[in-house]
Structure 1
Amino acid sequence: MDTARAPVSETGETSTGETDDAPAAPSFGRKVRSAARWSLINTVVMRLGNFATGILLARFALGPAEWGVYGIAQTVLLVLLSANELGVGLAIVRWDGDPRRFAPTVLTLGALSSGLLYVAIFLSAPTVAGLLGSPDAAGVLRVMCLCVVIDGVAQVPAGFLTREFAQGKRMVIDALNFVLSTTVTLVLAFEGWGAMSFAWGAVAGNIAALIGCAVAAPGTLKFGWDREQARALLKFGLPLAGASLLALAVVNVDTMVVGSTLGQVSLGFYVLAFNMSGWPVRIISEAARRVSFAGFSRLAGSPQALAQGFSRALGVLITGTVPLCVLLAGLAGPVVELVYGSQWLPAAKALPWLMALGLVRIGCELAYDCLVATGQRRSLFGVQGLWLVALIPVLVVAARTHGIVGVSQGHVLVAVGIVVPAFLFALGRAGISLRSIARACAWPFFGGAVMALVILGAQPLFGGGAVALFAAGAVALACYVVCVLPSRGFLLGTRGGDTA
């Protein structure tokens, strides 16, 4: 779980960076590139598998109401996972020195805190489900949130794999997780278990992931206790767990608002649309974030290298994401009907706005990791807190006046009008200029605008149907590729790359 961290030494003291002005460029670069490739392959394969599973479930097994129950349980789970090990697991990735010296204390703290969280949610599940407008979700919550305990233990071996950029091993582990969780979910769903099938599938997959991480990082699941280490870990982790909790609240407060205001069926449509909008975010941003924090942490001692690394990473992410967002936004109705069936068409009305939100989220998540790596915890708290405070009243009013479309529009309004400027200001304080960010985004945004115009003009010409849908998308994508060609030098890190 990526949350806020500051450069900290093994004893918990802030690192000055004097002994790490620049990483060993060749070996470090190779590690990052290899990890990024494996991470991207992993994410694409897993997301395509999840995509296919979602189609089967939505078309043949589950309706909007069941998806609404699942959405509530998933939201609560994600919020709990943001702070289940108090942020101390991130020390495995960030602290200097041999992590095996403090890993036993990390494991003990993570297991205790996640166990207490699970007891709390088990006892309060009926109340929480009722407040969120989905009383039927109580049982699903109690099962699905077992993943909180499993994750609290898995944080340590998973942290070792992240620290060493071992994304090849992570791919094997994630494949085991996916195969087991998907098999259990599908079997139970077609047996009539409804939303509970998601819960038991998630538990089975997380158990497989824990075993896989333990095998890939042997000797890391050892409990222990050192009072001084625990004090330093909590001092390091608690603020970061708080920042992560804020970040997850921002992403999931809309589900709570829709569920409590509009009911389970509307929530089911919204969850489907939000999941679709997350395809680009998960495929591209997740792959990057598995290496971005570790990479930014190694560059934190060199402001110039950090600024260059961030702008290039942002350029690559935005260039890869814009065409996916524009295609799904411009062809929302036909895509939803083709993939999930006509019963899910109400979700298409919210999808274009959620795609815009997805694009903003990708940039904000990368900025989040960069601010974490540079120790800008106060700025991070400020931005996340501002986002949440502004978002809640906007979403409540929007849900009551314009339903799920209003919620989607409210999200975009707050993100573009308030959050993006706040992140730009925070990044400027970290030494990353507005000019470098604009250079990274200029050509992709231009290409996205051209794509949107092409789709609007092509749809009447090509008509309806799957063939017409693919034809319009192919023409628009070809135009985008031509538009972003001038930025290839910048994206590849070669000289002469024109980026403005």
Structure 2
Amino acid sequence: MTDAEAAEEPFGTVVRRGLGWSFLSSVATRAGTVLSGIVLARLLSPEDYGQFTVALVVLLILANINDLGLEPTLVRWSGRIEEIAPTATSIILGASFLIAGGTFLGAPAIATALGAGDAAGIVRLMAVSVLVNGLFAVPSAMLTRSFLQGRRATADLTGMVVTLGLSIVLAVLGFGAWSLAWGRFVGNIVNGVLLFVFAPARFRPGWSRAVARHVLSAGLPIAGTLLLAVGLMNVDYIVVGRMLGPEALGLYLLAFNLSSWPVSILSVAVARVSVPAFARLQHDPGALRAAFCRSLTLIMAPTTLVGALLAVYALPATRFVYGPGWAAAAGALSFLAILGGLRVAMQLAADVLTAAGKARLTLLIQGGWILALLPALTVGALHGGIRGAGVAHVLVALGVAVPLHLAALATLGIRPLDVLRSARRPAVAGVAAVAVALGAHRLVDGDLATLLVGGLASTATFGIVAWPLVRLLKVTRRQAVPTTSGV
């Protein structure tokens, strides 16, 4: 579907369809990742996971800056995309080549600095993956811009199947950390090729100095924000790896992955629709405020329930799903689950700020957040290991990140009181679910029985308290504007 074709359909219909496909893709991807993680946890050691995590951190950081913020700029561009896409293609390809080349040459030093010198080869493979991301960044933006989440879901799920299948096969054959790396690399290529094939429009490299200045002025603040966001969510890996070693890092990675279920399923799905959808409302402050508040209420309902259950049942969930050898990850998971819920809300706030043209504000927020987080993580890991790192994350999020996001939203007319009212019902339901979960934990023996009985009872309690949200969901479905990111 091109921009012109999308414009012919009702806006709410386009957004709902895009969000549905995006949500389906995120759920399926997360389910596949969980299932493969269960298998891989029994084939690989925490140290294997730790070595791969070092390389993955490098990839995540580079993959979020190699396009210099031009992919999201293309998504929210209000003019004719043909005017800027060729120049953007040239800039992204050039930047990706330079970044990947520098990382490839500096891989040994990077791996050593991150506390896993043996991971240098894997870092080099991830550097090559940056080139793959650069090649297919513009087709990816065109799919998102046109709300073609169905095609994107096909590409993402196919890449996921290749990634997970190859990783498991190589792990069985004894490739250790390399099994994860090669699976990720090959799956990334498959995903990129499909994005290129499915894109509604493709562009050859071109150049215009005026266009380059214009798109870079819009894209670089977004790239800076993304870099800080990725650095923010990976600085803990760096600290844990350097201070506690690859084995502790592997345990921490598993805990963080479990805590990220709400973020992976909800925020990723919503972000692919919310930014272009909110962007269309940026000139109507009242509609933008109403859409954000409804979206926040609806997205925080499932997030709060999942986070509450993970926090209370961290130990039985870890032992049952991944085996007794990973039980030490539960100490960090109890606190990181709380962080996962906060991240979903703050990501939605970042989406609306970016869509409204206030990417520089999110850049300042991320900068302040990471400056506060680095010393807190160091102290937490030093005195409390991976559990201490989880505690530090939550304290900084509550004390620094949440207030900064509230202040930034106020510049759009979204008051802190509006946010609190939107989150009130999910929060009350979450407290009730936690109380029931704790009671079941004390009364029921056995990991599986605890998870089943406590999970079902807590979910039922949450549903009863949160039932009025169903009415809000019905209202949202009847109105085109509020559906921008509300399920």
TM above 0.5, yes or no, is yes
Q: 1:25 to 1:324 in 2, by over 3 A?
A: farther
**Residue number among 380, 402, 412 corresponding to 2:384 in the alignment:** 402
- 2:483 counterpart residue number: none
The 5 Å alignment of 1:418-429 reads 418-429=400-411
- 1:489 counterpart residue number: 471
Query: For residues 352-376 of structure 1, what are the alpha-carbon distances to aligned partners after superposition, in whole Å with 9 as ceiling and x for unaligned?
Result: 1000111111111111111111122
**Residue number among 431, 441, 462 corresponding to 1:449 in the alignment:** 431
The range that moved more, 190-199 or 290-299, is 190-199
- 2:313 counterpart residue number: 331
Query: In the TM superposition, what is the alpha-carbon distance from 1:186 to its structure 2 partner?
Result: 1.4
Query: In the TM superposition, what is the alpha-carbon distance from 1:310 to its structure 2 partner?
Result: 0.6
The 5 Å alignment of 1:277-316 reads 277-316=259-298
Matched, 1:385 2:367: yes
Segments of structure 2 that go 5 or more residues without pairing to the other structure are 1-5, 479-487
Q: Structure 1: which 4+ aligned runs deviate by more than 4 Å?
A: 23-26
Cα distance between partner residues in 1 of 2:287 and 2:33: 37
Matched, 1:322 2:317: no
- 1:154 counterpart residue number: 136
Matched, 1:210 2:187: no
User: What number of residue pairs does the alignment pair up?
Assistant: 472
Residue type at the aligned position of 1:476: S
Matched, 1:104 2:62: no
Query: In the TM superposition, what is the alpha-carbon distance from 1:401 to its structure 2 partner?
Result: 0.9
- 1:37 counterpart residue number: 20
SS of the aligned residue for 1:145 comes to helix
- 1:224 counterpart residue number: 206
- 2:40 counterpart residue number: 57
Cα distance between partner residues in 1 of 2:150 and 2:103: 35
The 5 Å alignment of 1:459-470 reads 459-470=441-452
Residue type at the aligned position of 1:425: A
**Residue number among 49, 56, 62 corresponding to 1:67 in the alignment:** 49
Checking the alignment, whether the CA contact within 8 Å between 1:315 and 1:491 is kept in structure 2 is no
Query: In the TM superposition, what is the alpha-carbon distance from 1:460 to its structure 2 partner?
Result: 2.2
Matched, 1:120 2:102: yes
Q: 1:25 to 1:392 in 2, by over 3 A?
A: farther
Cα distance between partner residues in 1 of 2:276 and 2:435: 39
SS of the aligned residue for 2:78 comes to coil
SS of the aligned residue for 2:397 comes to helix
- 2:419 counterpart residue number: 437
Checking the alignment, whether the CA contact within 8 Å between 2:58 and 2:126 is kept in structure 1 is no
Cα distance between partner residues in 1 of 2:8 and 2:387: 47
Cα distance between partner residues in 2 of 1:189 and 1:465: 27
Checking the alignment, whether the CA contact within 8 Å between 1:144 and 1:200 is kept in structure 2 is no
Cα distance between partner residues in 1 of 2:142 and 2:390: 38
Query: In the TM superposition, what is the alpha-carbon distance from 1:219 to its structure 2 partner?
Result: 4.5
Cα distance between partner residues in 1 of 2:265 and 2:168: 22
**Residue number among 31, 34, 38 corresponding to 1:48 in the alignment:** 31
Cα distance between partner residues in 2 of 1:129 and 1:233: 34
Cα distance between partner residues in 2 of 1:252 and 1:236: 25
Query: In the TM superposition, what is the alpha-carbon distance from 1:492 to its structure 2 partner?
Result: 3.2
Cα distance between partner residues in 1 of 2:10 and 2:151: 19
Q: 1:65 to 1:492 in 2, by over 3 A?
A: same
Q: 1:409 to 1:465 in 2, by over 3 A?
A: closer
Residue type at the aligned position of 2:457: V
Checking the alignment, whether the CA contact within 8 Å between 1:133 and 1:264 is kept in structure 2 is yes
Cα distance between partner residues in 1 of 2:408 and 2:201: 40
- 2:3 counterpart residue number: none
Query: In the TM superposition, what is the alpha-carbon distance from 1:97 to its structure 2 partner?
Result: 2.4
**Residue number among 356, 360, 364 corresponding to 2:338 in the alignment:** 356
Checking the alignment, whether the CA contact within 8 Å between 1:315 and 1:440 is kept in structure 2 is yes
Cα distance between partner residues in 1 of 2:167 and 2:266: 25
Residue type at the aligned position of 2:104: F
Query: In the TM superposition, what is the alpha-carbon distance from 1:98 to its structure 2 partner?
Result: 2.3
Residue type at the aligned position of 2:254: L
Cα distance between partner residues in 2 of 1:55 and 1:356: 22
Cα distance between partner residues in 1 of 2:381 and 2:375: 10
- 2:179 counterpart residue number: 197
Query: In the TM superposition, what is the alpha-carbon distance from 1:335 to its structure 2 partner?
Result: 0.6
Query: In the TM superposition, what is the alpha-carbon distance from 1:313 to its structure 2 partner?
Result: 1.0
Q: 1:490 to 1:433 in 2, by over 3 A?
A: farther
Segments of structure 1 that go 5 or more residues without pairing to the other structure are 1-22, 496-500
Residue type at the aligned position of 1:315: T
Checking the alignment, whether the CA contact within 8 Å between 2:18 and 2:150 is kept in structure 1 is yes
Query: For residues 418-463 of structure 1, what are the alpha-carbon distances to aligned partners after superposition, in whole Å with 9 as ceiling and x for unaligned?
Result: 1101110110111112222112111110011011110111122222
Query: In the TM superposition, what is the alpha-carbon distance from 1:99 to its structure 2 partner?
Result: 1.1
Checking the alignment, whether the CA contact within 8 Å between 2:50 and 2:247 is kept in structure 1 is yes
- 2:71 counterpart residue number: 89
Q: 1:66 to 1:250 in 2, by over 3 A?
A: same
SS of the aligned residue for 2:16 comes to helix
Cα distance between partner residues in 2 of 1:80 and 1:235: 20
Checking the alignment, whether the CA contact within 8 Å between 1:376 and 1:430 is kept in structure 2 is no
The range that moved more, 372-381 or 453-462, is 372-381
Matched, 1:188 2:170: yes
Query: In the TM superposition, what is the alpha-carbon distance from 1:218 to its structure 2 partner?
Result: 5.2
SS of the aligned residue for 1:193 comes to coil
Query: In the TM superposition, what is the alpha-carbon distance from 1:467 to its structure 2 partner?
Result: 3.0
SS of the aligned residue for 1:283 comes to helix
SS of the aligned residue for 1:493 comes to helix
Q: TM-score with structure 2 length normalisation?
A: 0.94
The range that moved more, 85-94 or 460-469, is 460-469
